[in-house]
Amino acid sequence: MKKRVKLKGRLRIYMQVSLYLGLLLLLVDLGIYFLDLRAGFLLTCFLVFYFGMILYLMFYNRPIIINELVSFATQYGQIQKELLKELDVPYALLDEDGKIIWHNEAFSQAVHNEKAVRKSITSFFSSVTRDRLPLEEEGVSEFEISYENSEYMAKFTRISLREMADDSDIIGEEEYKGCLFAMCLFDETALKIALKENDDQSLAVGLIYLDNYDEALESVEEVRRSLLTALIERKINKYVACFDGICKKMEKDKYLVILRKKAVAQMSGKRFEILDDVKTVNIGNEMAVTISVGIGLDGLSYSQNYEFARTAIDLALGRGGDQAVVKTPEQISYYGGKSHQVEKNTRVKARVKAHALSEIITSKDRILIMGHRMADVDSFGAAIGIYRIAKALERRAQIVINDITTSVQPLIEMFQNNREYEPDMFLRSQQAIEMAGSNTVLVVVDVNKPSITECPELLKICKSIVVLDHHRQGTETIENATLSYVEAYASSACEMVSEILQYINDGVRIKGEEADCMYSGIMIDTDNFMTKTGVRTFEAAAFLRRNGADVTRVRKLFRENAAEYKAKADAVSQAEIYREYYAISVCRSEGLQSPTIVGAQAANELLNMKGVRASFVLTEYQGRIYISARSIDEVNVQVIMERMGGGGHMSVAGCQVDNAQPPEVIKRIKETLDKMIEEGELRQ
């Protein structure tokens, strides 16, 4: 069937204008008849001839004119097509399904395929899917795509066939549906390379601190101390110089480093080998020297990069030293941290912190004390120690605790119904929130991560906050603390509080029940003084013994019932040894009041197996999976748990996982171990 073609728009008006003029002359002719009949008759004859010619041209010459117009449009379209075909910008037309129906030569060169027609655009650019093409209401979409070694900015324009037909002056009398997509590729490879090179040249600021400078010097002969210092300084300067950086010594144990961002990436790729290289310096010193590195980059200014570096070095030191921390506005990355922090023999810091704590407490009327969720013996014992300090300074103190575990229950019973202690000595979170105000000091013990404190809301309400903790700091910390005393070398929070007690008002006399609680905290966190113990740990225990702590009474408090003992034994017996050195097991929680405590004990027991470097025990409790991770000295379980969103110590760490089942979490642990072994962070 032959389709009719019609004209429209200005072209149609132009073709019909002579007819309209003839109608106007016809009206004029009628008017002339009233003036002169002969003139009117002559004009009528002219009009008959005029209309005859017009009709002849319209009906007999119209196809010729239309053919000429179509021919012109075709030639015009061919010219446009040739221009697009030879255009240097890759260009293609896609149908509704994303298949290529036409493309120019530049597109063929870009995708290295001259026969790309009828192929899906996704076969060349996997990121270009149907749902990313512009919708009808959007019209245009832009996004970046990659192909081999090139980077493009792709621009997609939706073309409606109906609108395209409406815009044409020559159309067929039929309906047009559907759409096409015009795709343009703008090559930004050179721009991206230039931007990356410029970014790689941007300034990064670093700080390098010697962790145990004084202790290391004391372990070597006096005449050889300058040699030890020179060798360490040479190692650091040589390391920075090989990355084309600048290193300037600020103090005897502090260095300022200026680097390019590219150099930091190279250091990170080699996991800051200077951390292990410095430890090899030995001229007879009994103690290996360790360093901490803090680097700040991607700040808006040089001063902001320096502040990032300061924050990074504080994190590195707070986490125990012997590690590098790289801070950017978006994230914080940790490297190293494989050595145990050396215990400081001097108590000057404890005395200074004790004096500052006294001033803060005496400046307020009410003291609130809280630890972490699911309080353990160390958390509760430290809270009792702070309670005694507040009482010695004649201030009212209360302890915030919600869920009472089986391990803490015997200790709490010693204070409940005891006339020497207030009936409201222990509060729940809601009660504490109602009491807190501007005249309240909040003391946080055994935790420095706000999200896992007993009542995170109190951190926002109280203006004066004191943090006492022995866990290594992570990315999430309590930032608005008036006083922060975080020492990763300490065995427990109870050890730290015991030292502070000795400097409050020339020493505070504590009661037997309180001494038992604090002694229990040290004993549990050190696994009966077998792990992470130093001289100051035993000194703190001796102080508590002098103040009435009874070892036999403490031992009786922590005897296990049959169900807990069987659950622990079951977890140990069913442990899986992964990659020869890592024990993984699940502790059942049915019938146990505090299954997480039993899980932690099972993790400790697994370390008694020969060859086991680290143990991981999972406990499902209250809709959440608790992971207890333990090691002796060969593996840093804190770094492993941090990768899963947790934290802790090098040898004692943990993590909490929501909305997961034990098999899924075990798989995640194995994947994390595999990845860290592959990256060289764990030796196999």
Residue 288 has pLDDT above 80, yes or no: yes
Give percent of the chain above pLDDT 90: 31
In a domain, 214, yes or no: yes
pLDDT band for position 6 (50/70/90)? Answer: low
567 and 490 in one domain? no
380 and 303 in one domain? no
Give the pairing of strands 582-587 and 614-621: parallel
220 and 140 in one domain? no
User: Tokens 């171990």 map to which residue?
Assistant: 673
CATH number of the domain where residue 273 is located:
3.30.70.270
510 and 471 in one domain? yes
- Report the amino acid identity of residue 228: L
DSSP letters spanning 180-240:
EEEEEEEE-HHHHHHHHHHHHTSEEEEEEEETTHHHHHHTS-GGGHHHHHHHHHHHHHHHH
Minimal CA–CA distance to 173: which of 372, 381, 306, 1? 1
Total count of domains within the chain: 5
661 and 643 in one domain? yes
- The span from the CA of 660 to the CA of 669, in Å, is 13
Query: Which of 295, 312, 336 is where one domain is finished?
Result: 336
Residue 371 has pLDDT above 90, yes or no: yes
625 and 538 in one domain? no
156 and 28 in one domain? no
531 and 396 in one domain? yes
DSSP letters spanning 81-141:
HHHHHT-SS-EEEE-TTSBEEEE-HHHHHHHT-S--TTSBGGGT-TT--GGGSPPTTT-EE
Minimal CA–CA distance to 497: which of 600, 399, 627? 399
Which class for 329: exposed (0-12), middle (13-18), buried (19 or more C-beta within 10 A)? exposed
In a domain, 141, yes or no: yes
In a domain, 37, yes or no: yes
450 and 397 in one domain? yes
> What's the average model confidence in pLDDT over 231-241?
93
Higher per-residue confidence, 209 vs 162 = 209
- The span from the CA of 31 to the CA of 48, in Å, is 17
Answering whether pTM is above 0.85, one says no
The pLDDT score that the predictor gives to residue 390 is 92
> What's the average model confidence in pLDDT over 7-30?
74
553 and 413 in one domain? yes
- The span from the CA of 673 to the CA of 466, in Å, is 36
Residue 573 has pLDDT above 90, yes or no: yes
- The span from the CA of 294 to the CA of 313, in Å, is 4
469 and 359 in one domain? yes
Q: Are 614 and 635 in contact (CB under 8 A)?
A: yes
Beta strands in 440-521 (DSSP E): 440-445, 464-469, 483-486
Range of the domain at 158: 86-194
